[in-house]
Structure 1
Amino acid sequence: MTDQLDMLDNMVSQGLADSARRTPEGIRKLIASVRQAPIFPGVTDDDAEMLAREIEERIGVSMGLGATVDANDFEPWLERIRPEIESGSDPWYYWSRYKKLLFKKKFPQDVIYGTDQVTDTILGRLGNPREKRSWDRKGMVVGHVQSGKTANYTGLVCKAADAGYRLIIVIAGIHSNLRNQTQGRIDEGFIGRDTGRLAQMGTREKPKLIGVAEFDDRFTPVSLTNTIKDFNKTTATSNTSQIASYAVPVVLVIKKNTHTLRNLTEWLREHSANHSSEMVDQPMLLIDDEADNASINVKYGKNEVSRINGQIRELLGLFRRSCYVGYTATPFANIFIDPEQDEAMEAEDLFPRDFIIGLDAPNNYFGPRKVFLDGMPDEEEPLYLRNIIDNEDVLPIRHKIDDDLVSVPPSMIEALRAFLVARTIRDLRGQREQHASMLVNASRFTRMQGLIRNRLQEALDTIRVSIRVNASLGERGIRDPEIAALRNIWAAEFYEAWPDWSEIQAQMLSSIGAAKVVEVNSRVNDLDYSAAGERGLTVIAVGGFSLSRGLTLEGLTVSYFLRNSMMYDTLMQMGRWFGYRGNYEDLCRIWMPPQAIGWYAHIAEATEELHEELRRMQRDKATPLQFGLAVRSHPSSLLVTARNKLGSGEKHVKVGLSNGYVETHKLINAPAVLESNRSAARAFASALREDGHDLIDDKRENGGFLLRDVDVSRIDDFLLRFRNARESIGTTIEPLRRYINQRVNDELDKWDVFFASVKDNEANRDILGWPIGPARRSIGVENLKDGILSVSGSRARVASRGVEKISVAPHDVASAEADFMTSHGLKNSSKTNFPDHIYRGVRKKPLLVLFLLSVKLPDKTEHRERYEELLPKEPVVAFGISFPHSSRPDEKVEYVMNTTMLRELFGEEDQDEDLEMVDV
C-alpha cells in the first residue's frame, strides 16, 4: 500500500512541474486522473485526499536565499569555470545525484531550488580548486537550529567534489552518536555506500548501495571513516593506494576531540613524507559543524589558544590550498566575541574573514520565532508551550549527582500522556510508518538520567496495562483512572486536532504497544531508528548534553526540558524541538520552566536581529569583520561573554547601544528599593508636568499615553534616581547614562516618553499623580526566593509586543514592514507578526517606556501560599529604552563585571556529567 502511494506521489509530483496545475483543484484532478491506472488498486479516496493535502502543503513551502557578506578582496571564480565543469562527460555528477535524492525524499521543490542556489553562493566563496597557487579561505554559514544545515553542507560537499576538491573533512561535533549520525547522512547523500556495513564485511560481499548510489554508483568517493568507527590510522593507511590516485574524492567524518585531530594530523604528515608533497598539494575543504562548540579560542591573556582550536589550525596548515567553513546556528558564538581588542578580531585564525552567509529557513520551519514569539501572545496561553512549576520537591533544577528519585514531577507524566495521545492521532492521520519521539532533558547527570528513565518506564508500563485491559470497553473504559487521565489530556490539548475520543481510545493499543523509554548519553545509547520495521519507532529519549547538540530526534513531538542555563549557544542548541513537523505541527508541545521560556524568547529575538543585521550589511556592502564587531557589541553579548570569561577577574565589556533595546526585566524585591523607584517615577512625572506635559485623551496611544519632545535632562534625572538590579545587566545605570550623555547635544537631546497604561485599570492616580493603569505580569518563583522580581510568563518581557512601534511615523512603519515582508518572502501583512526591532531600525528619536506592574504568581504555582507573602502589595516601576540608530555606532560604552558577580548571575559552566572522555 505504501509503495502504491509513493508511486502515485512521484507521478503526480512530476506532473505538477507545470505551475498552472499547482492549485488545490489542479492537484486533486491530477491525482484522480493518475489513479485510474490499474497499478493503484489499493489507494482509497481517503488516501488520495491525504496525499492531496500533503502535496498541497509541500508545494506551498518556499525558502529565501539568505544574505552574504564578503571581504573587500573577494574575486568571483565559479562562473568563470562553470563552462569547463558543464562541458565534461558527467557535469555536476555528485550534485545531480544528491538533487535526485532530495526529490525522492519529497523535499519541497522550491526548497531544492533554493538549496541549489545557496550552495552555489557558498561554493563560489571557497577557494578555486583549479587555481594552482597557494591560497586559504575562511568563512562561516549561519543557519538555524535543526533547520537543515546538514542537508546544506552535504550539498556543498557534492558541489565541491564536482568543482575539483579531492579531500573533504567534516568535523561533526564532540559526541560519537552525532558523528555516527552525520557519517550516515554523508553515506546517503555523497558516498552511496553503507560504510558501517562495508567495514564489517570487508571485501566478502558486494557493498550495499544506498541513497545517491541508487541513481548512479560510479565514481564512489573513498571514505576513511564509517558509521561504526572514527578515523583510525591503520584503516587509513590500508586505503592509501586508493587515495594516491585521487581519481575520486576522499572524505572523512571525524569527531571533534583532540585524540582524533592529533591522529589525523600525524597521519597526514606521515603520508606527505612518504609520498612527496602530493597530499598537501591537494585542495582541501574542512567543514566544521557546530563551529561555536569547542573550536573557538577560549584562552586569555597569554596568547594561548584552546587545544582543539590549535589543532584545527594545525590541520589547515598542512595544505597549500585549504578552505575552512564553520557552520553554526548561534551567531552569538564566541568566535566573534573572544578577541580582547577589536583590531585583534581579524587576526583570529578561525575568524571567518572571507565570507559570512546567513541561511534562510524554509517557511515551514518550526523554529524559535514560531514557538517563542509568534506562538506566544501577550495575554493568551502560548500555543506550544507549557510551564513546569511542580518539580522543586521531587526534581529541583539544581539537584546533586547522588540525589534519589522516588517519583518524577506530575507535569512529566502529563507530558508523557500527551505524547502517547499525539502518537495515536498521528497514526490515525496515516503516519504509522513515521517515527515519533519524545525528548526528556531534565538532568546533566547520567545517573539521574537513568533514574528518570526507570520512573518513566514504570509509568508507561502502567498506562499500557490499562489500555490493554480496558481500552476496548468503550465508554466503560473511561472508568479506568489511566484512561480517564489520557482523555483529559486529549480534551485539554488535542480536541481540535482529532475531535473523536472514541477513535483515539480504540487505536491507542496499536499505537503505543511498542513504545519504549531509552537513555542517550555517554554511558549508553539505545536510540536506533534504523532498527524500526514497517512501523515507525515510538520512543521516549532521556538524556542530557548528548541530546543538546546536533543529534536529530526523528518525529520529535513532545519535549520536556528542565534546564535553566542562560547561555545563548547552550540554550538554542538544546532546542531539539525545532525542525520540520509535516502534518503534525499542531500536536507538538514543549514543557519547560517559565524562566527558561523567557530566555528562549529573548534569545529568539536577539538571534533574529542578527540575521536582519546580515541582510542590512549585505545591502551596505559591509565586511565580515564589521559583522563580527556588530555581534560583539550587541547588548546581548554581555550574556555570551560571561560564560568563557569567568576566570578572567574583572571583565570590561564594550557594548554599542545604537539600534538597541534594554529593559528592567528583573527588579530588586525589597520594599525600600521598590518605594525608591516609585518615588523616582513620581518625581519624573512631576517634572514633566512642570515642563507643560500632561496625560490627556489626545495623548493616548494603544496601551498608554505618549508625550513627545521631552528634554534629555529629565531622562537623566530619572535614571540617576532609579535603583537597578544588577541581575538586569542591560539596564545598568552608569553605562546607560554615559551613552546618553555622549550624545546629549545632538542625537539624544529630545525623547519620546510613553506611560504604559491598561485602560480598564486606571485606579492608581495616587502613584504618579496621573491615571496610570498597572499591567499584570507573572513573576518567576525561583528568582523570588532570591529576592528578585523576574518577569516570567509567555515572553518574559515587561513590554507588550509592538511597544517599539510607538511614536514611529506611519510612513516609516509602513516602510519597515514592507522591507521585512520582502526580505522574508511574505505576502500577507495581516498574518505577519512583525518583530519590534524593525521599528527601532527606522526610529528617529529615543523612546523611554515607563511601566507600572501589578505582579502575580504564575497559574498553578505549587505551594502558592509560601510565595504570596513575598510579593509586593503595590505596583512596581520598570522601564525600557528603545535607542535609534546612531551616527556614531562604533562608539561604545563599557560595562564592568567581576568574576564573583558573573558566577552569581550565571552559575558555573553548564557542562554535563555525560560529556564523553577522549577516545583512546
Structure 2
Amino acid sequence: MSDLILEIHTSALAAMGTKPRPFLKVAAALGDEDVPSTDLSEEVFCARLATDEANGGALTAAWAKALTSWDFAEEPNWPTVTTARTEERRMAVYDRLQLGDGVRKALDSAIPVAKMPGATVIAPEHTPWYTPERAAARTFYWQAYEGKLRSKGWSEAAIASLHEASRAVVERLTDPEQEARRQAKGLVVGYVQSGKTANFTGVAAKALDAGYRLVIVLGGTLNLLRAQTQRRIDMELIGQENILRGADPADPDALVGIDYVGDDEEWPEFVCHGGRPSTLLAFDIERLTTRDKDYMSLAQGIKALEFEKGTPTLPLYDPANLHRAAARIMVVKKNKAVLTKLVNDLKQIHGILGELPALIIDDESDQASVNTSDPRKWEKDSTERTAINALISKLLKLLPRAQYVGYTATPFANVFVDPGDAEDIFPNDFLISLPRPEGYMGVQDFHDFESPSKTEPRTVANSQEEAHVRGIYEGPDDRLQEAMDAFVLSGALKLYRADHGVPGKPFRHHTMLVHESVKTDEHAALALRINTMWHQAGYTSTEGHDRLAGLWAADFDKVSQVRAAELPNPKSYDELRPYVSRARQLIAKGGNPVIVVNGNSDKYFEQLDLDFDRTPNIWKILVGGTKLSRGFTVEGLTTTYYRRTARQADTLMQMGRWFGFRPGYRDLVRLYIGREESLTKTTTADLYEAFEAICRDEELFRQQLAQYAELVDGKPQLTPAQVPPLVAQHLAWVKPSARNKMFNAELVEIRSPGKPIEPAAYPTDESALRRNTERWRKLLGALASEPVAFTSPPSADGTPGAKFSALTARVSHPELIAVLSQLEWERDGIFQPHLNYLAQLDGTLAKVDDWLLIAPQLAKTDRVEAAVLNSAPLSLVRRQRQAGKTAFGRISGLEHRSAAQRLIDAADDPATAPAPIGPGTGVALLYPVVEAKAGADLSAAAGVSHGKANPAKLVIAFTLIPPKSATDSSRRLVRFQAKDSTHIDAAIVAAPTE
C-alpha cells in the first residue's frame, strides 16, 4: 500500500528545489492531481512526525534533507538577510514555507538546527557564474556522490556542510563555458586525517557536472597511497558502469583487465548509476589510470586524450559540445618520472588542449611540512618539491584552461612561506579553510586548550588529557606493556560492542602505532622486543587477566562510563573476558603481532600486506611512523605509543597520526606519549606540550583567518596574497624573502576591538628583560595594595564561574601607550601591527579614555609573592616557552581572561546598568612571569631577595582587551601595504638587489 502523505511531501520538497515556498500550496497542487482527499493538515503532519521514527523515519529524512540544505545555504537564491546555520535562518525558512507554530515545534524537535561553523573563505572579489540555478541544472555526478555518502551513514548536516564547502571551491574556478582563458589557483586547508578526500571528490563531482572534462588528481608519493585515492574516487564518484564500460559483469572473459569486479569484496557497494551515464542524458567518465596502474605513456596516437566534438566548427568549451563530451579522470602518483611522462604526452596533442576545461587537484600539496624551526630541513625537502612544482607549472602551461586546487592539512602551507617555491601555484584566487568535520577526533580531543579553572579537579569528564593521554616519564617503567594491554582491551571492547548492536564495520581494522625512532635498525630491535613482550604477556594466564582487569577498572571502565554511556559497555571484566581471547587471536594471527613499517618503495609496502582497502582485517601493532606520515591513513588506530625525540616539536603531519574519525570507539583511544624524553645530555623534552604548541598556533591562526574573512562593505578585507605576513607572525624562522623573490604584502595593522591581544615573543636576554620591567615602573607603582574580587562567567552547563582577587589601577591611554611603544621583543616588529592600532585609539581612529589594569593574585597555597620594583607584592606566575620556539604559549589564565572579557562585554551592553567600566575603558591583565619548569623553585628562579623579585628574571606579560567601541565605521580588522606599489596586485615580486 502506497504512503500518499509521504509521496506528496517528498514530491513537494523536490519541486521546491533550492527555494522554500508555501508548503501547503505546493503540496495541495500535487495532491489534487492524485488523490484530492489526502489530508494535508498540520495536525496530520505533526502526528506523522511523532510516529515517523517507529515507521522507518522516511518522512523525517525527507524534511531533514530539505531543511538542512536551506539552513546551510551560504548564498541562498531567495531573499533573506539571515546567517546560515542559525535559528534565525530556520525561522526565515519556516516563514517562506508558511508553516504554523505546531509544525515548527515538531520539526525543530525532530530536526534541530546544526549550528556548526562553515568554511572560511579568503578570496578577492570574483565574477559569479556558478549560480544556484546553474548548479541545479546539471547534478548527475554530485547526486550520485551525495547518495553514496548518505548510504554510508553521513548525516544530512555533514552532507550539507560538504555541499557548501565544495560549492565554495567550484564557484571560484573559471566558468568552463567561458571563451576567455583564465586559470584560477586556490588552496583548501583541512585537518589531519579529516576527510579532505571527501571534499575534493565533491569538488570533482560538481566541476564535472559544470563542464570540466579533464580531472587530474595528484595523489601520494607511493602507489599504495595513489591506489587508495583512485579506489575512493572509483567507488564513490565514477561508479560501476564507467568502470565496466559495457562489459558484462557475468562474463569472466569480458572482465579481463577490469579492476575490482573479481577481487574487491566491496564491489557491490560501488556507486551504481542505473545505466551508462551517456544513455541517461549525462556523460561517461573514462579512467586514464586504474587501481593497479598509474599513468603510463599513452599509445595509439594519444587517442585516450582526444575529445570528440559533436559540432566540429565550435570549440570544445562551447555548451553545444561540452556537455555531450565524455570526461577523463586520472589519479597520478606525485612522482617526477610519472609527471614527466604525462607532460611529454600532452606536448604531442595539439589544438584541443587550448579548448579543454581541466582541473588539477593536488592532494597533500605540502611535500614538506613547514611546522619545523629548522630551515635546513626545509631546504633539503625543497629539492623534490621544486621539481614537482616545476612539472605542475608545465601542466598549467600546456592546459591554459586548467584550474589548480591544492589541499593541505596545515594553514601554514608551503606557498605562504617560500615565495620562490610558490610563484607558479600561489593561491591568488582563494584560500578556503574547511571547518572541523562532524565526528572528527582532533587536537581539541587530546588537549585542554580551554580547560576548567585550575582550582577545579581535572577528571576524565572535564579533561581531554585525563581521558585519552597517558604520559611516559623517566623511570624503569616505560609503560609499553600497559600500552599493549590497552590495545588488547580496546580490541576486546570493540568486539563486545559489535556483538551488542553497534555496527561492526568501523571495527574491521584495529591498530596500534609505536614510534620511538627514525632509525630503521632500531625499528627491528623494537619489533623484536614487542614480539617477545607479547609472548611473555600471559594473555591466557590468570596473571595476565588480572593485569587486564586492573587496567580495565582503573582506566577504560571509568572513561567509557562518562564518555560513551550510550554505547554497550560490560558491567564487569568477566563479561569482557571472552572477547579478550578473540582480540588476542586476531592480533596474533599469522604468528606475529608486529609489522615494521620503515620502507619507502611500493614493493616494500606490497609485501607488508598493509592495504586497508583490500585486506579483510588488519589487527596489528605497527612499528615505524615517519613513512606513514603523508596521506596514508592507518585505519582503526586506537592506541599510539610515541617517544620520538627531535630538536623541536615534530611536524603536525608526522605526529598527528592519532587524529581522525573513531565512530563507536573514540572513548577507547589512548595516546602514550613521552613527557621527559632525553633531548641532549642535560635537557629533556615534553613531546605532549611540544605538539600542543604547534596545534595551538594553528588553531589561533584558523580563528584569525575566520575573523578577517568577514566582508567590510561587501568587499574582502583579506586576500590570499596578504596571508604570508600573517603566517610569518607565527613562524619565527621564516625569512622575509627568497634570494630573488619576495611576498609583496606587508602587514601594517591588526585591529582588535573587544578581542584579546596577547603577545608571547618576549626577549630572552636578561638585560632586555630588565629594561622592559623598568618601563612598567610607573604603572606597577599605581596598582592598589588592596585586592579587588572578580568572578568569571558561568560555564555553558551552568557551573558557577571561578573567583579570584587582583590588584588594580586605572591609567590613562597615553600612559599605557608610552610603555607599550618602548618595549623590546624577541623579534623586531612582531608587536608593531598591534601597536599601530592601539596608538590610533587617541581619537584618530577611535577614543579610548583609560585602561583598567588587573594583576591577578593566585589562590594556591604554594604561591610565591614578591614586589616588582615599587609595586605591592604580586603573585609570580610560572610559564615556559614553547618547545623549539622563543615564544611562550598561552600566558593568561582562562578565568582571568573570561572575567576581563565579561567587563568589556558589559560595557557595550545597554541592558547592563550600571556597568563596572565605561564603554571607553579597556582592560589589561598583567602577569609577572617567571620562566621556570614545573617543580622548580619559583622564588629562586625569580631571584627574590628581601621580598623583591629581580627585574632581569621577569617578563611583565600582558593581555589587552580594547573596548568594543575601539574601531571606526569601516569595521576593518586588518590592513596591509604593498612593498612594491608598482605591482600592487601581485602576490610575489622581485626582491630588491643589494
Q: Give the alignment's TM-score, normalised by structure 1.
A: 0.70
1:626 maps to which residue? 719
How many Å apart are 1:321 and its aligned residue?
Answer: 1.1
Native 8 Å contact 1:352 1:624 kept in 2: no
1:356 to 431, 435, 439: 431
1:539 maps to which residue? 620
Native 8 Å contact 2:231 2:291 kept in 1: yes
Native 8 Å contact 1:688 1:694 kept in 2: no
Does 2:274 align with 1:231? no
Native 8 Å contact 1:67 1:359 kept in 2: yes
> Which AA in structure 1 matches 2:725?
R
Native 8 Å contact 1:757 1:775 kept in 2: no
Which structure would you say has the larger RCO, counting Cα contacts within 8 Å and 6 or more residues apart?
1
Native 8 Å contact 2:750 2:975 kept in 1: no
Native 8 Å contact 2:786 2:807 kept in 1: no
Q: Residues 370, 256 of structure 1: CA spacing in aligned structure 2 closer, same or farther, 3 A cutoff?
A: same
Does 2:193 align with 1:142? no
How many Å apart are 1:263 and its aligned residue?
Answer: 1.3
Does 2:319 align with 1:319? no
How far, CA to CA, are the matches of 1:461 and 1:882 in structure 2?
Answer: 55
Does 2:905 align with 1:880? no
How many Å apart are 1:574 and its aligned residue?
Answer: 3.5
Moved more, 368-377 or 323-332: 368-377
Matches within 5 A, 1:441-460: 441-460=515-534
SS in 1 for 2:660: coil
2:124 to 67, 71, 90: 71
Matches within 5 A, 1:301-700: 306-339=386-419, 348-373=423-448, 376-377=451-452, 379=454, 380=458, 382-386=465-469, 388-390=471-473, 410-430=478-498, 432-433=504-505, 434=507, 435-463=509-537, 466-470=538-542, 478=545, 490=556, 498=569, 499-515=571-587, 516-523=593-600, 524-525=604-605, 526=608, 527-533=610-616, 536-563=617-644, 570-572=651-653, 574-594=655-675, 595-616=686-707, 617-620=709-712, 621-623=714-716, 626-634=719-727, 636-639=729-732, 641=734, 659=752, 661-663=757-759, 673=766, 687-688=778-779, 690-691=781-782, 693-698=783-788, 700=790
How many Å apart are 1:508 and its aligned residue?
Answer: 0.3
Native 8 Å contact 2:229 2:331 kept in 1: yes
SS in 1 for 2:731: helix
Native 8 Å contact 1:299 1:306 kept in 2: no
Structure 2 alignment gaps of length 5 or more = 1-9, 14-43, 60-108, 262-266, 278-283, 310-323, 588-592, 676-685, 792-802, 843-847, 910-918, 980-994
Does 2:826 align with 1:732? yes
Native 8 Å contact 1:633 1:892 kept in 2: no
How far, CA to CA, are the matches of 2:777 and 2:231 in structure 1?
Answer: 68
> Which AA in structure 2 matches 1:309?
N
> Which AA in structure 2 matches 1:747?
L
Larger radius of gyration: 2
SS in 2 for 1:97: helix
1:800 maps to which residue? 893
SS in 2 for 1:306: helix
Does 2:163 align with 1:163? no
- Deviation digits for residues 543-592 of structure 1 (CA, Å, limit 9, x no counterpart): 33332222222222222333466989931564132222222222222233
How far, CA to CA, are the matches of 1:843 and 1:631 in structure 2?
Answer: 34
- Deviation digits for residues 33-71 of structure 1 (CA, Å, limit 9, x no counterpart): 99xxxxxxxxxxxxxxxxxxxxx9999977543233332
Moved more, 593-602 or 219-228: 593-602
How far, CA to CA, are the matches of 2:390 and 2:202 in structure 1?
Answer: 28
Matches within 5 A, 1:70-89: 70-79=123-132, 81-82=134-135, 86=137
SS in 1 for 2:532: helix
How far, CA to CA, are the matches of 1:124 and 1:138 in structure 2?
Answer: 12
Does 2:54 align with 1:29? yes
> Which AA in structure 2 matches 1:254?
V
How many Å apart are 1:493 and its aligned residue?
Answer: 5.7
Does 2:346 align with 1:268? yes
How far, CA to CA, are the matches of 1:81 and 1:316 in structure 2?
Answer: 26
Q: Residues 22, 282 of structure 1: CA spacing in aligned structure 2 closer, same or farther, 3 A cutoff?
A: farther
How far, CA to CA, are the matches of 1:193 and 1:843 in structure 2?
Answer: 66
How many Å apart are 1:428 and its aligned residue?
Answer: 1.5
Q: Percent same amino acid among aligned pairs?
A: 23
2:329 maps to which residue? 251
Native 8 Å contact 1:294 1:309 kept in 2: no
How many Å apart are 1:358 and its aligned residue?
Answer: 2.7
Native 8 Å contact 2:530 2:594 kept in 1: yes
1:757 to 857, 868, 876: 857
Moved more, 215-224 or 420-429: 215-224
How far, CA to CA, are the matches of 1:142 and 1:612 in structure 2?
Answer: 13
How many Å apart are 1:755 and its aligned residue?
Answer: 1.7
How far, CA to CA, are the matches of 2:975 and 2:159 in structure 1?
Answer: 40
Native 8 Å contact 2:169 2:203 kept in 1: yes
SS in 2 for 1:607: helix
How far, CA to CA, are the matches of 2:130 and 2:557 in structure 1?
Answer: 60
Q: Residues 350, 384 of structure 1: CA spacing in aligned structure 2 closer, same or farther, 3 A cutoff?
A: farther
How many Å apart are 1:512 and its aligned residue?
Answer: 2.8
Q: Residues 194, 637 of structure 1: CA spacing in aligned structure 2 closer, same or farther, 3 A cutoff?
A: farther
Native 8 Å contact 2:412 2:698 kept in 1: yes
SS in 2 for 1:426: helix
- Deviation digits for residues 479-498 of structure 1 (CA, Å, limit 9, x no counterpart): 5x576566655467657564
SS in 2 for 1:467: coil
Structure 1 alignment gaps of length 5 or more = 1-13, 35-55, 395-408, 471-475, 725-730, 817-841, 859-863, 895-920
> Which AA in structure 1 matches 2:121?
T
Q: Residues 304, 469 of structure 1: CA spacing in aligned structure 2 closer, same or farther, 3 A cutoff?
A: closer
How far, CA to CA, are the matches of 2:822 and 2:196 in structure 1?
Answer: 49
2:104 maps to which residue? none
1:174 to 221, 224, 229: 221
> Which AA in structure 1 matches 2:290?
N
1:827 maps to which residue? none
Aligned residues: 761
How far, CA to CA, are the matches of 1:553 and 1:377 in structure 2?
Answer: 32
Q: Residues 587, 239 of structure 1: CA spacing in aligned structure 2 closer, same or farther, 3 A cutoff?
A: farther
How many Å apart are 1:770 and its aligned residue?
Answer: 2.8
- Deviation digits for residues 125-150 of structure 1 (CA, Å, limit 9, x no counterpart): 22222223322111222222222211
Does 2:926 align with 1:849? yes
How many Å apart are 1:888 and its aligned residue?
Answer: 8.9
How many Å apart are 1:214 and its aligned residue?
Answer: 3.0
> Which AA in structure 2 matches 1:638?
L
> Which AA in structure 1 matches 2:404?
Y
Q: Give the alignment's TM-score, normalised by structure 2.
A: 0.65
1:192 to 225, 234, 239: 239
Root-mean-square deviation (CA), in Å? 5.1
Q: Residues 808, 663 of structure 1: CA spacing in aligned structure 2 closer, same or farther, 3 A cutoff?
A: same
Q: Residues 281, 664 of structure 1: CA spacing in aligned structure 2 closer, same or farther, 3 A cutoff?
A: closer
Moved more, 412-421 or 381-390: 381-390
How many Å apart are 1:92 and its aligned residue?
Answer: 2.1
How far, CA to CA, are the matches of 1:539 and 1:19 in structure 2?
Answer: 52
- Deviation digits for residues 599-649 of structure 1 (CA, Å, limit 9, x no counterpart): 443444433344344444243355596344245235643346269989999
Q: Residues 452, 120 of structure 1: CA spacing in aligned structure 2 closer, same or farther, 3 A cutoff?
A: same
> Which AA in structure 2 matches 1:227?
R
